[in-house]
Amino acid sequence: MKKLNGTNKINIAVFISGKGSNLKNLIKHSYAYNSKFRISLIITDNSKALGLKFAKKFHIKKKIVNFDNTKLVEKNLVMFLKRNKISLICLAGFMRILSKKFIKNFNGKILNIHPSLLPKYKGLNTHKRAIKNKEKFSGCTVHLVNSKLDSGKIILQKKVKIFKKDTPKSLALRILVQEHALYPKAVKKILANL
Ligand code: GRF
């Protein structure tokens, strides 16, 4: 089997807006024996994103992007990502919708993780809505990003039981544990076909 060294690993950019627990988890997996990828860029739209601390901790290049002028910003961002030889983008708690044009530049190469069993509960407040509707299960989904919100091809999903005593917070925490198991698996699956 071909051995991967630091130089021929696949470069991934992770886009975050908040805590970055999925980012941290992907970084951890990138250090695993025989991992085929490295997290080489962290992009955020939020200069106060807590997840930015992982850039310093793990010596990863970061970029804070002000998305106010979306068109120009995205054009520059595409160039920046290409210059940095990014082959895959992982959205992880990134609270922006990317334009069609941006997505076209990385067609089939942008993943997102969403805390529900898509196509159910797209958008925000998934846990609150699932509990309110007395669903027996929720979960998480890793999917390809297309121009419609939370609607691209599903790569992997994991079901999580909803208990009677669950609050949106307790459910979110239990699902997050599964997100951390699911996202690296989905990345591996996509990389196998790149
Ligand atoms: C996760 O629940 C993810 O599914 C959603 O936003 C949350 C991000 O959490 N899209 P973190 O920033 O990775 O901790």
pLDDT score recorded for residue 189 = 97
- Is 30 exposed, middle or buried (CB count within 10 Å of its CB: 0-12, 13-18, 19+)? buried
Which pLDDT value is given to residue 70?
Answer: 82
Is residue 133 domain-resident?
yes
Q: What are phi and psi of 35, to 5 degrees?
A: -60, 140
The tens digit of pLDDT for each residue in 105-151 reads: 999 999 999 999 999 999 999 999 999 999 999 999 999 999 899 99
Centre of ligand 1 from the C-alpha of residue 136, in Å: 22
Inter-residue contact 89 to 39 (CB < 8 Å): no
Q: State the CATH number of the domain containing residue 155.
A: 3.40.50.170
Domain count, the chain: 1
| Cα 53 versus chain centre, distance | 17
Query: Is residue 3 domain-resident?
Result: no
Domain that holds residue 31: 10-193
Taking 70 as the pLDDT cut, the residues of the chain under it are 1-7
pLDDT for position 193: 87
Residue 1 lies in a domain: no
CB 17 near ligand 1, within 6 Å: no
Share in percent of the chain as helix, strand, coil (round to 5): 40, 25, 35
Query: What is the distance between the alpha carbons of residues 52 and 42, in angstroms, rounded to a whole number?
Result: 8
Q: Is residue 5 part of a domain?
A: no
Choose which residue among 19, 22, 44, 171 to substitute to test ligand 1 binding: the one with the highest number of ligand atoms within 8 A of its C-beta.
22
Q: How far is the CA of 93 from the centre of ligand 1 (A)?
A: 4
**Relative to the CA of 113, which ligand 1 atom is closest?**
4
Q: Which helix (H) or strand (E) holds 93?
A: none
The answer to whether residue 63 is domain-embedded is yes
